[in-house]
Amino acid sequence: MELEGKVAIVTGVSKGIGRATAEALLARGMAVAGWGRHAPQGLTHERFQFFECDVREEIAVAEALTNTLRELGPEIHVLVNNAGLGVAGPVDGFSSDDWRLMFDTNVHGTFYCAKAVLPQMKRQQLGHIINVASIAGTTGIENMAGYCASKFAVRGFSQSLFKEVRNDGIKVTCLYPGSTQTNFFDDIPGAQANDSMMQPQDIAGAIVYALETPFNFHIVDVEMRPLQPKK
């Protein structure tokens, strides 16, 4: 897809991969609607608008879409489902509230946002949905059962959705980043972000690459890992 002049929605835009993706899409000439609970500090651009949205609430998603269409025009070409979080802990000592929080954000939020934009993408017969999962969506990790379960769900959702909407000209790509230097590790005991990890800009670059593929094919799954991880 030629990105210049097109419209993208990026969730979880306040920092990390979401912010880096918004900046990369702006650099390609897109208009970007950033959805999140907090605005990205210092991100000002004539083609960027922030809309407060908690993706855990379907009503909030519907309101954000209405505001986006009013401000940026009637077409939505790209949705980047990036909003997500992780909480660590053993299953037998894990908070049920934290379990629900992860599924409400990582899984239900992805569903609400995709469901919201699909009618317009189908009218256009053109669109691309990017779901940011995690390497945790491909393998189990000790003390991360809830997070892994939520990202496995994103994987299943993505692979089902692409088969459902491909004949409408809509692409679906799921990314599985490994360790990325973001604030994700702030709340993970025993883990610390470091310079050997991938950078948010690396993930954003992969997203741009997937979006710019010619119309006749699409990239379904992308697994990314640091080349030389810190031992």
pLDDT tens readout for residues 162-205: 999 999 999 999 999 998 876 665 565 655 667 788 999 999 99
In this prediction, residue 195 carries a pLDDT of 77
Q: Is 204 a domain residue? A: yes
Q: What share of the chain is helix, strand, coil (3-state, %, to 5)?
A: 45, 15, 40
Q: Is 168 a domain residue? A: yes
In this prediction, residue 230 carries a pLDDT of 78
Instruction: Please answer whether residues 115 and 9 qualify as being in contact, where contact means their C-beta atoms are separated by less than 8 angstroms.
Output: no
Q: Is 230 a domain residue? A: no
Per-residue pLDDT tens over the stretch 59-97: 999 999 999 999 999 999 999 999 999 999 999 999 999
- Global pTM exceeds 0.85: yes
Q: Is 123 a domain residue? A: yes
For residue 205, the domain's CATH number is 3.40.50.720
- Single-letter residue type at 110: T
Mean pLDDT of 116-143: 97
Q: Rounded to an integer, what distance in angstroms lies between the CA atom of residue 184 and that of residue 188?
A: 7
Q: Rounded to an integer, what distance in angstroms lies between the CA atom of residue 134 and that of residue 168?
A: 27
Q: Is 231 a domain residue? A: no
Per-residue pLDDT tens over the stretch 1-53: 999 999 999 999 999 999 999 999 999 999 999 999 999 999 999 999 999 99
In this prediction, residue 181 carries a pLDDT of 76
Residues known to be catalytic? 147
In this prediction, residue 25 carries a pLDDT of 98
In this prediction, residue 52 carries a pLDDT of 98
Task: Indicate the pairing of strand 170-177 with strand 127-132.
Answer: parallel
Number of separate domains in the chain: 1
Q: Is 178 a domain residue? A: yes
Domain limits for position 153: 7-224
Q: Inform me whether the pLDDT recorded for 111 exceeds 80.
A: yes
Q: Is 92 a domain residue? A: yes
In this prediction, residue 229 carries a pLDDT of 84
Cα-atom radius of gyration of the chain, to the nearest Å?
17
